[in-house]
Structure 1
Amino acid sequence: MATQQMRAPQRIKLYRWRWSGKGPNGRRVSGEIVAGHKDEVERELSGQNIMVKTIRRRSSLFGGVGKIKPRDIMLFARQMATMIRAGVPVLQAFDVVAESLKKPAMRSLVQELMNDVSAGSSFSDALRKHPQHFDRLFANMVEAGEQSGSLDRMLERVASYKEKIESLKGRVKKALYYPAAVISVGVGVTALLLIKVVPQFESLFRGFGAELPVMTQMTITLSEFAQRYWLWGIGLLIASIFLLRQGMKRSEAFAYRMHALSLKIPVIGDILDKSSVARYSRTLATTFGAGVPLVESLDTAAGAAGNQVYERAIRQIREDVSTGQQLHFAMRLSERFPALAVQMVGIGEESGALDAMLNRVADYYEEEVDNKVDALTSLLEPFIIVVLGVLVGGLVVSMYLPIFELGTVL
């Protein structure tokens, strides 16, 4: 137990410090330094002949520590590949990369990796201690690179892989967020009109002493309902989102049903479907091409699919392949993958160029996702304009109808 505690990596806390002072010529200078303590900042600045005036630690809300994102991991892999290719030893490469990082959280992570490697761990073992930042693919590729003496090439492959995966994720998010954002704005504007604007007209109409048009009466009734229950509506929406997320976290069966349902949504389901095929193909091509055994590569690809329906299907494919079946036949048996993808994988297996063919499958379906997202955006724009026009225009017309009728009477 004590040995395990000693082996646990010590967490290095770094912060971003904002400083100002005077340089050697009396010129005012300022900047930012990433360090653990104020004393370290003072020592570094005094070494540069700078008279320090103020040093303040930036708040975490304004980039004081920063959150590690997939893009940071991708840049780290590319920087390490460049350093190692240039002949820089791994430990020195860690030090150079850490010095160039401006995000304290990422710099802390790199320093922890450097400490582990300097203590005798391999690069891949050090990565496996941080599974929340470095997935199995990253660790397996680095391990393959260490064993084959091509660490720089493997790191470059990881960086390229993550770049393509993040690009694909961005396209899928665009397909999901764009309509949701526009519809939210439309609902928000309509709610604002019902809660704030319509009541002003209602007080005006009371002085007319005449029966209001049916459309206006419906709008006023809807406005009264919105004024009475808008807080309940917001609370119900927030509670529904919270319960949905918690349900997906706590129940694997519920999460699977939600993922299966998302694949059946018109247009968006097709985008999610093709993106899962692309991510599976890209991950499998990257790991298998790096020399990782196919069964283990399939295990990594299952975790990278991004959808539990595909994850379960890939794990079944892994079981079938481990019993001796060919990959393309196991993919056909899963009944999840398109015929084109299955045929191309079969050709790759027969020709001995499986990784190259899987990359072509990934390229094809990534382009399909891109085209589908563009088509969805083009289709949604006129549809959303019409919906917003009907919502907002209908409210405005219903409010001005009594005024128009009053004008004709006079």
Structure 2
Amino acid sequence: MPVYEYKALTQKGKTTSGIIDAESPIIARQKIRALKTFPVAVKEVHDSPTKKESRTLSFARHFQRVTPSEVAMLTRQLATLISAGFPLVPAIDILISQTRSNAFKRQLAKIKDSIVEGNSFARSLSLYPRSFSELYVNMVHAGESSGTLEIVLERLADITEGQQALKQRIRSALAYPVLMTFIGTVVLFLLLTFIVPSITSIFTDMGQALPAPTIFLINTSAFFKKYWWLILALGAAMLIALRSIVNTSKGRYLLDKSMLLLPGSGLLVKKLAVARFARTLGSLLENGVSMLTALEIVKNIVGNQLIANVIEDAAKEVEKGQDLGTALAESKIFPDISIQMIIVGEQSGRLESMLNKIADVFEGEVESSVMSMTSLIEPLMILIMGIAVGFIVLSICLPIFEMNQLVM
């Protein structure tokens, strides 16, 4: 069924807009009038826009992507409606009217139409891989197959909300140090480029012998003043080059490998990837997805190419009949405690619950480690800024002190 975007006027004369599905534009206008609004413009939405439309709307649509928080909220609401006895299609219809994002409304309308046409819910969700991950689609498929869709949706909502909460806590903890680093760098750059040269020019005009710190400061500020544009250009070029390298498979692999080797943060990256692996694998196995299929899905969401390769190799060994814990232990990448817990879970027949415990342990360790690191980074940044500014002040004051001694 076609989907239409519309603009209409309410009875009070206010402009409103939305998404509606109908067999034709005439029926779409009738539905809009049934909402006690007067249609002003009705336009059909196409899945595959022309090249000209794509170029025109690509920038705007970049800011209209469906966010994980929107998906989590939809999942929770859909699980509640289905648990209350609503059929799937009417439940999605209710959520379309409540969703604020037009981009998400369009996707939900197309998903509903796909279900009406006879496709499964999982198949319909797979039409939008950017919004609904492979993990999401496969868990929904497992829920449909087993008749426990509402339970799976509740579980998916828990997973999505938990991951978003963890990311938000980590981002909140790192926000202040990152902001301090950025502001400090900008302030020092402006000082050395524009402020210091105007002050130190007084000393150079005097023709007097200057202390070594002052000479160093004058030379540094002169370099920044003369080549500040080159510094900015090199910085931008490095960012572009790094992004281009990361977009290649080999570059991504080298970056992920170097991230794991970094002192301090490398261990955090590894723990976060292992936590994501354990949480996702445990959820998939709990909902009836086979081990090999679950490992194939999990390797794509761990966020590190090196660990993804380890999981892929382990899947091949599991296919040959080897235990998962033993297969993962051969790589020496996974922490020993996670390997031991997986082996115990396999031997006791409680692998799913053990994987969830692994995720709880490592997520807690990552969060506490980030908090500890930020508590150390904040005073360290203040100390570095103080030393830098103190050096600038001292370099400027030393010649003044020497001039005072000569006058006396």
TM-score computed with the length of structure 2 as normaliser: 0.86
Aligned ranges 1:273-352 → 2 under 5 Å: 273-352=270-349
User: Does the CA-based 8 Å contact 1:60-1:66 persist in structure 2?
Assistant: no
Superposed CA deviations along residues 312-358 of structure 1, whole A, max 9, x for unmatched, are 00111111111101111112122111111111111211221111110
What is the CA-CA distance between 1:197 and the residue it aligns to?
0.5
Residues 64, 42 of structure 1: alpha-carbon distance in 2 compared, 3 angstrom cutoff: farther
Q: Which amino acid aligns with 1:78?
A: R
Aligned ranges 1:340-379 → 2 under 5 Å: 340-379=337-376
Q: Which amino acid aligns with 1:34?
A: G
User: Does the CA-based 8 Å contact 1:14-1:105 persist in structure 2?
Assistant: no
Superposed CA deviations along residues 54-92 of structure 1, whole A, max 9, x for unmatched, are xxxxx9999997221111111121111111111111111
Map of 1:143 onto structure 2: 141
What is the CA-CA distance between 1:97 and the residue it aligns to?
0.5
SS of equivalent residue, structure 1 residue 263: helix
User: Does the CA-based 8 Å contact 2:281-2:298 persist in structure 1?
Assistant: yes
Map of 1:133 onto structure 2: 131
SS of equivalent residue, structure 1 residue 146: helix
Superposed CA deviations along residues 170-225 of structure 1, whole A, max 9, x for unmatched, are 45556766544432322211110011111220333345442222211211110110
SS of equivalent residue, structure 2 residue 18: strand
Residues 151, 376 of structure 1: alpha-carbon distance in 2 compared, 3 angstrom cutoff: same
Aligned ranges 1:11-410 → 2 under 5 Å: 14=5, 23=12, 30=14, 32-35=16-19, 66-171=64-169, 173=171, 179-250=177-248, 252-410=249-407
What is the CA-CA distance between 1:289 and the residue it aligns to?
0.6
What is the CA-CA distance between 1:401 and the residue it aligns to?
2.5
Superposed CA deviations along residues 335-386 of structure 1, whole A, max 9, x for unmatched, are 1111111111112112211111100000000000011101110111121111
Structure 1 distance, partners of 2:388, 2:16, is 50
SS of equivalent residue, structure 1 residue 349: helix
SS of equivalent residue, structure 2 residue 132: coil
Structure 2 distance, partners of 1:120, 1:275, is 40
What is the CA-CA distance between 1:231 and the residue it aligns to?
1.2
Residues 51, 287 of structure 1: alpha-carbon distance in 2 compared, 3 angstrom cutoff: closer
What is the CA-CA distance between 1:408 and the residue it aligns to?
3.7
What is the CA-CA distance between 1:263 and the residue it aligns to?
0.9
SS of equivalent residue, structure 1 residue 92: helix
Give the alignment's Cα RMSD to 1 decimal.
Answer: 3.2
Superposed CA deviations along residues 149-184 of structure 1, whole A, max 9, x for unmatched, are 111110111111112222333455567665444323
User: Does the CA-based 8 Å contact 2:4-2:28 persist in structure 1?
Assistant: no
Aligned residues: 390
Structure 1 distance, partners of 2:36, 2:96, is 23
Q: More displaced, 331-340 or 180-189? A: 180-189
Q: More displaced, 160-169 or 327-336? A: 160-169
What is the CA-CA distance between 1:407 and the residue it aligns to?
3.3
Residues 49, 359 of structure 1: alpha-carbon distance in 2 compared, 3 angstrom cutoff: closer
What is the CA-CA distance between 1:267 and the residue it aligns to?
1.4
Superposed CA deviations along residues 274-319 of structure 1, whole A, max 9, x for unmatched, are 0011000000000001010011111111111111111000111111
What is the CA-CA distance between 1:264 and the residue it aligns to?
1.3
Structure 2 distance, partners of 1:164, 1:36, is 32
What is the CA-CA distance between 1:121 and the residue it aligns to?
0.7
User: Does the CA-based 8 Å contact 1:172-1:271 persist in structure 2?
Assistant: no
Give the % identical residues: 32
Residues 395, 41 of structure 1: alpha-carbon distance in 2 compared, 3 angstrom cutoff: farther
TM-score computed with the length of structure 1 as normaliser: 0.86
Q: Which amino acid aligns with 2:276?
A: R
Gaps of 5+ in 1: 1-8, 24-28, 54-58
User: Does the CA-based 8 Å contact 1:199-1:223 persist in structure 2?
Assistant: yes
Map of 1:56 onto structure 2: none
Structure 1 distance, partners of 2:251, 2:63, is 35
User: Does the CA-based 8 Å contact 2:19-2:105 persist in structure 1?
Assistant: no
